[in-house]
Amino acid sequence: MKKFIIPIMIIAIIVAFYEQVSTDKNVYVTVIAIAIFMFGMMQLSAKTPSKNQEKDDKDV
């Protein structure tokens, strides 16, 4: 899954930066590219364990 998400995120950021540099800026393309990047970051960070996971277990 990670091998699929990371290239799509890189392509989305390249498209967003390219749209900002071009003379005819399209806001919708930039917003969609940033949304794809944020969705990818959400998917990748969901697998990272919390720092406070140990403290939460002790409270229960």
Please check the confidence at residue 31 and state whether its pLDDT lies above 60: yes
pLDDT for position 45: 86
For all residues of the chain together, what is the average pLDDT?
A: 83
Residue 6: both structure tokens together: 């990371």
Q: What secondary structure, in 3-state letters, does the chain show?
A: CHHHHHHHHHHHHHHHHHHHHCCCCCHHHHHHHHHHHHHHHHHHHCCCCCCCHHHHHHHC
Please check the confidence at residue 57 and state whether its pLDDT lies above 60: no
Percent of the chain with pLDDT over 70: 85
Residue 11: both structure tokens together: 């392509």
Please check the confidence at residue 1 and state whether its pLDDT lies above 80: no
